[in-house]
Amino acid sequence: MNVSQSSRFGDGAYYTARKIGEDLELFNSWKNDYPDKTRTPDFLKLDERTRMTGCLMIRDAVNEMIDEYGVDKFKQLSRESIEDGRRGFRNRIEKTMLPGTYRGASFVDALYEGQDNLTRTYADENHLMHAPSELHVREDGSFQVSFEGANKWGWHPYNCTPAAIQGGIWVMLTQTVIPNANVNDGAYYSCDFHLPEGSWANTQNTETAHAYAWHFLVSAWAPLWQHLSRGYYARGFWEEINAGNANTSNWLQGGGIDQFDKLHAVNSFESACEGVGARYVEDGEPHAAAIWNPEGDMGDAEVWEMTEPLPFLGRAVKPNTGGAGRRAGGAGFESMRTVKDVSRWLLYEMGNGYMTSDSGLFGGYPAASGYILNAQDTDLKERFENGEEYPQHDLDPESGEFESKIEGEISREPKGISTPKQFDDYDLYLNYLRGGSGLGDPLEREPEDVVSDIHDGYVLPRHAKQAYAVVVDKVDDGPKHNSAVQGEWELDLEATRELREQRREERVEDAQPVTEWMEDERDRIMEERDLIDDVKKTYESSMRMSKQFAEFYKGFWDLPADFGFELSEKAETSLENRFATGLKRKWNNPTEGHKTWWGVGRDDEPAVPYTWSSDRSITDLSSPDASFGEPTPSRATDDD
């Protein structure tokens, strides 16, 4: 019996397996039960009706086909459709990827040390997700995704199950590798997923929380974008190259008594419009998409205000959020919200903070990381009544403009996650949606494009000089292209050429041989110099989780066989407690080949053994010298 919850809705909704309806009609017992367990019963009712409508549409379509062609033909079609999906997936991989091993890694922060309202003292610690990602592409077009070396699960809600992480990856793959109408289990039968037991990716522990697995898995699939893009580059499919998906946050969430004096909760879907990573042939789309949603739609402010007691004070493109590069990442955007006519209203933030989970590609820069900005106990009401200026944006966080237009308790922090805190009328909340990462060397970007970026609100003038070495001068204070940039700016081409040449010379002066750099870094690791406890705990966790990763890490940096990081007492205790819980298996770990439901085995395709080692190379795969052969005429392809 939990004594830390203050309301019914903190308990969660518990249901036993039960029949809730018949003949596409819900029983009254269910209709009266489930709405009482949520603060948004209308949305849940709509979900139920949508699910039933989908089932009815599928049933009618199946019955129509059976009536016209017979059940045997329908079964044959089903099998052939799945087999066509399997072959189509492999053919696409054969066309667009080179066989071998693709490697990458991503990280994201979940910082809970010092947070308010934690219900468990041992959860008062910071976590960094480590996702070492390997894609093994086989000669036949099938592949294995491996997360060997992932660190231990943690006391947070971002742990994953195999179903969650595979589902997340397939959301991405269906929009990239197989963007067609024939999406089914066929493609799944061409893939293996290695998710280490006991890691955040496959906890195998009944004690772990999984409420928001997306925070980790969205960050973890970032290298997969780049694995595919490197294959596309090698094969010549340059128009398919993408630097990666934005970290789809912030998630504005909370609830309480709304403007209609009703219990209500919000989970703003403005996050369905993030910046898109740069492509090889053009810039990333600004505030346009989220990989987990087929529609890029941030929603109209007026519609959100009908369902959320959070009036908009402003909404605009967020400068400097897209990663710099020869092709720039798409910019994110922001909404400045206030609170009106509420009581007991809680809000919190959820996203990446100190760390960016998406690196750039081919020399491009990552997207901007997140931060939190709130203002409470403000004088906003008085400013409204007196016709005074008030914050509508925070487009330049370094300008101090926000702080100059509001009095109150202002909280500006470079982190992305907060625990729920109460907001009252006229408090302020910044909802900042992230940008995409860049591609290519920023010094190769056309200077004229940088000037356009300034006028479009994607880049601040000083950032043009810092990131792109482009010199601009203000020539007119009159035009106002957007709320971030006042005036008209003009390119100084000669000064730009000189500055870029200077930057290139500085790069040469600062450069050092890789061997020297590795020696310096090795010394830094051995001495644990400039390594915070959170970083050391993360790598130590990965090495304790995986013998293969430990061998690889120590071999790469030429560390002693008995090397280990020295942790603080708090970090060591945390790791010991989590490792001591052991495994409590609750789901299958699909690391071996699948057996298809139509009886086609995978004996001829053994799973690629994962062997992190310093001497691993493409030679570990069969026939590494050979390229893919031409598809046989009998195979279906996505282009047929």
Instruction: Tell me the domain boundaries of the chain.
Output: 80-238+514-620, 242-441, 446-511
pTM of the model: 0.88
Which range among 169-178, 246-255, 343-352 shows the weakest confidence by mean pLDDT?
169-178
Closest CA to 172 of 115, 107, 120, 222: 222
Give me the mean pLDDT over the 507-528 stretch: 96
Closest CA to 30 of 40, 45, 46: 45
Residue, of 21 and 588, whose pLDDT is higher: 21
- Band of residue 549 on the pLDDT scale cut at 50, 70, 90: very high
Any idea how long the chain is?
A: 640
Residues 6+ apart with CB under 8 A from 415: 109, 111, 353, 354, 370, 371, 372
Closest CA to 126 of 459, 355, 396: 355
Residue % of the chain over a pLDDT of 70: 88
pLDDT in tens, 163-175: 888 888 888 888 8
Closest CA to 357 of 108, 637, 103: 108
SS3 content of the chain, % helix, strand, coil (to 5): 35, 15, 50
Secondary structure of residue 592 in the 3-state scheme: coil
CA–CA distance, 84 with 636 (Å, rounded to integer): 6
pLDDT in tens, 444-491: 999 999 999 999 999 999 999 999 999 999 988 876 665 566 788 999
Secondary structure of residue 315 in the 3-state scheme: strand
CA–CA distance, 24 with 113 (Å, rounded to integer): 49
| Cα torsion 193, 197, 203, 206: sign | positive
Q: How many Cβ atoms sit within 10 Å of the Cβ of residue 185? A: 14
Checking if the pLDDT of 593 tops 90, the result is no
Secondary structure of residue 380 in the 3-state scheme: helix
Q: How many Cβ atoms sit within 10 Å of the Cβ of residue 480? A: 11
- Band of residue 185 on the pLDDT scale cut at 50, 70, 90: confident
CA–CA distance, 279 with 277 (Å, rounded to integer): 7
Give me the mean pLDDT over the 500-508 stretch: 97
CA–CA distance, 618 with 406 (Å, rounded to integer): 59
Strand partners, 129: 108
**Structure tokens of 588?**
């299958």
pLDDT in tens, 103-155: 999 999 999 999 988 878 888 999 999 999 999 898 888 888 889 999 999 99
- Band of residue 635 on the pLDDT scale cut at 50, 70, 90: very low
The helix (H) or strand (E) run that includes residue 145 is: strand 143-146
Strand partners, 263: 257
Q: Which amino acid is at 118?
A: L
Checking if the pLDDT of 623 tops 50, the result is no
Query: How remote is the C-alpha of 592 from its chain's centroid?
Result: 27
Q: What is the pLDDT of residue 5?
A: 60
Q: What is the pLDDT of residue 490?
A: 94
